[in-house]
Amino acid sequence: MTHEEYRKASLSSKEETQRILFNEYFNYVYTIVFSRLRSCASREDIEECVSDSFADIYIYYNETKELCGDISGFIGTVARRKAADLYSRLTRKNINTVSVDDEEAAQLEAPDNTEEIVTNNDIRSKLLHCVELLGEPDSVIIMQKYFFMRSSKEISEIVSMTPEAVRMRCSRALVRLREKLTEMNISL
């Protein structure tokens, strides 16, 4: 949606304009928020952050300014900032500090399975990168199905497809994902 389209639509109905904006940019905002918060936030936190992002977009976007072009840059910036704020709040709670003077701190050692943890994290990050390379809507379908355990019917509502089309795209995306992982010498 361009700035001019938004301005024209908001003259007739502000609510309808917001609904159109939400439907058009939901996947974009969800992907931004999810990619930032997937390591520390619950599904509910992510969905709330997406809602808060759209609330800020509706509040702060100024359709009276003389602008031209696509408004996706503004929307992406708001989503990234909201996700970064929530990430900071969530991770701040989990920071454990140890005093340097504490004698027990000197005795702390890494767990026995540190190498395994690092390897698993590396594989996860490569897997997520490969999923992102699938592009829209395949990456959204894979993420929703295998990371959020949503059904094809639920996913079909998110990506505006029929459940049958979602299942077909999912199976084709899995074949492409396996090929990408094989190229990286990763087998799951």
Q: CATH 1.10.10.10 spans which residues of the chain?
A: 114-183
Q: Helix axis angle, 163-183 relative to 114-133, nearest 10°?
A: 120
d(CA 187, CA 184): 9
Element (H, E) at 79: helix 72-93
pLDDT at 164: 92
pLDDT at 83: 92
CB neighbours of residue 79 within 10 Å: 25
d(CA 134, CA 139): 5
CATH class of the domain comprising 114-183: mainly alpha
Closest CA to 18 of 64, 75, 65: 75
pLDDT at 80: 92
pLDDT at 90: 85
Taking the alpha carbons at both ends of the chain, their separation in whole angstroms is: 40
pLDDT at 89: 87
**Dihedral sign, Cα of residue 7, residue 13, residue 19, residue 23:** negative
Residue appearing with tokens 């594989």: 123
Q: CATH 1.10.1740.10 spans which residues of the chain?
A: 3-93
Model confidence, pTM: 0.48
Amino acid at residue number 92: R
Q: What is the pLDDT of residues 36-67, one digit of tens each?
A: 888 888 889 999 999 999 998 888 876 656 55
User: CATH topology for 3-93?
Assistant: Rna Polymerase Sigma Factor; Chain: A (1.10.1740)
The SS3 call for residue 70 is: strand
The SS3 call for residue 6 is: helix
pLDDT at 120: 67
The low-confidence residues of the chain, meaning pLDDT below 50, are: 97-100, 105
Omega before 111 cis (within 30°)? no
User: For the purposes of burial, counting CB atoms within 10 Å of the CB of 107, is it exposed (0-12), middle (13-18) or buried (19 or more)?
Assistant: exposed
